[in-house]
């Protein structure tokens, strides 16, 4: 099954390995080899990151993060977080209620945006719940 080719919108070329996968309440994201991120499912609150509120019925390449060297990606219920070690940036997008995206407001975001409060931090792990996210730095601090 690892050799089986998947149909991915916007992804062509060699067969890709899935490195990380995460699921929210009604959407999913995957980090593939070659630093390709795909998302699919319900997009009503921008949680897919494609710049619109459209649902995606199959994995679709998230080109907004091309070239950002993403090493991890995590879903909350209706939001998504990605981390770039080389850029030392944490990006978030989706449903913003309760400040869950970390941008100091409750606005929804339909494309990945860097979280200024986490800029420059070396992140070890990110976890998301329904209405919040936490990041653990390499030094063991919880943000």
pTM of the full structure: 0.89
Exposed/middle/buried for residue 138 (C-beta within 10 Å: 0-12, 13-18, 19+): exposed
Between CA 2 and CA 55 the distance in angstroms is 27
Query: In the prediction, which pLDDT does 13 show?
Result: 62
Query: In the prediction, which pLDDT does 9 show?
Result: 60
Render each residue's pLDDT in the chain as its tens digit; 143 residues.
333 344 556 666 668 899 999 999 999 999 999 999 999 999 999 999 999 999 999 999 999 999 999 999 999 999 999 999 999 999 999 999 999 999 999 999 999 999 999 999 999 999 999 999 999 999 999 99
How many residues can be counted in the chain? 143
Domains of the chain, residue spans: 16-135
Strand, coil or helix: what is 117?
A: helix
Q: Which residues pair with 135 in a beta bridge?
A: 126
CB-CB contact of 62 with 48 (8 Å):
yes
* Class in CATH terms, 16-135: mainly beta
């Amino acid at each position: 099954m690892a050799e089986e080719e998947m149909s991915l919108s916007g992804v062509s070329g060699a067969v890709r390995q899935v490195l990380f996968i995460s699921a929210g309440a009604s959407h999913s994201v995957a980090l593939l080899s070659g630093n390709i991120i795909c998302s699919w499912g319900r997009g009503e609150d921008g949680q897919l990151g494609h710049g619109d509120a459209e649902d995606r019925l199959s994995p679709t390449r998230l080109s907004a993060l091309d070239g950002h060297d993403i090493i991890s990606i995590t879903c909350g219920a209706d939001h998504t977080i990605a981390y770039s070690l080389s850029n030392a940036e944490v990006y978030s997008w989706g449903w913003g209620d309760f400040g869950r995206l970390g941008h100091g407001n409750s606005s929804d975001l339909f494309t990945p945006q860097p979280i200024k409060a986490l800029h420059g931090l070396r992140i070890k792990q990110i976890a998301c719940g329904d209405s919040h996210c936490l990041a653990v730095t390499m030094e063991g601090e919880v943000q």
